[in-house]
């Protein structure tokens, strides 16, 4: 089958894993890069063909922002839920605002995005949703209670959604990712443990492989876990 450009929306595309995914997919597909920092998005887009890329600012904590974004973008073939934040610490020491910020960004934002884009996919009987999740959704880490709750909730949602839409030729894929050397970790942690972390390109390469299965009507990869060679930190 000849190569066909897909319309792909990537959240959290201004840095880290999202930027690496944009670079991996933006040469062969039409990509919409989503983030809060327009200057950072522009930097990511500078290495991509101008006719393949579109930049839209959006705060994933804002339902109004997401609603406006989805109305502006229109039909999307592939949604890549990548945006996320992490704030670590024991529950007793964590301000309520930090807990709410993680739940809003990591859980409610992607849920709102999917709810907005699904009707079009269902009407076309075609679509793919790839969610870049974390091993914290399935593995216990001290100091990650709020983060884990947001990620576990997202995994439960996408697992259930998969069963709802699979008969409509829509693929819902969960990519469960271990420690990756990005800005979600402090500079001190990256300096000390970077040799035990994957790179953003490791994850982006795998996302590229998943997208290649978009047109396969007989096979769907449901979940993949990717970890550093030496395991969790």
Name residues whose C-beta falls within 8 Å of residue 163's C-beta, 6 or more positions apart in sequence: none
Residues 6+ apart with CB under 8 A from 68: 58
CB 114 within 8 A of CB 161: yes
Within 78-218, strands assigned E span 78-81, 127-134, 170-177
Distance CA 125, CA 215 (A): 12
Does the annotation mark 147 as catalytic? yes
User: Which among 147, 161, 211, 228 is annotated as catalytic?
Assistant: 147
Identify which of 82, 64, 75, 72 has the alpha carbon closest to the alpha carbon of residue 25.
82
| Residues with a known catalytic role | 147
């Amino acid at each position: 089958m000849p190569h066909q450009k897909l319309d792909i929306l990537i959240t959290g595309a201004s840095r880290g894993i999202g930027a690496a995914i944009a670079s991996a997919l933006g040469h062969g597909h039409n990509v919409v890069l989503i983030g809060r920092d327009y200057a950072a998005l522009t930097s990511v887009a500078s290495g991509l063909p101008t006719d393949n890329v579109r930049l839209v600012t959006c705060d994933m904590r804002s339902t109004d922002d997401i609603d406006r974004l989805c109305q502006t973008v229109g039909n999307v073939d592939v949604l890549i839920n990548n945006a996320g934040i992490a704030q670590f610490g024991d529950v007793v020491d964590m301000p309520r605002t930090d807990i709410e910020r993680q739940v809003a960004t990591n859980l409610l934002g992607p849920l709102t995005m999917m709810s907005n884009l699904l009707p079009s996919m269902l009407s076309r009987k075609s679509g793919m949703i790839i969610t870049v999740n974390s091993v914290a959704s399935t593995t216990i880490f001290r100091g990650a209670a709020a983060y884990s709750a947001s990620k576990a909730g997202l995994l439960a949602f996408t697992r259930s959604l998969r069963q709802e839409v699979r008969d409509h030729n829509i693929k819902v894929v969960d990519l469960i990712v271990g420690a990756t050397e990005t800005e979600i970790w402090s500079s001190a942690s990256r300096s000390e443990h970077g040799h035990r972390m994957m790179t953003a390109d490791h994850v982006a390469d795998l996302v590229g492989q998943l997208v290649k299965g978009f047109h396969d009507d007989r096979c769907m990869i449901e979940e993949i876990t990717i970890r550093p060679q030496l395991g969790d930190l």
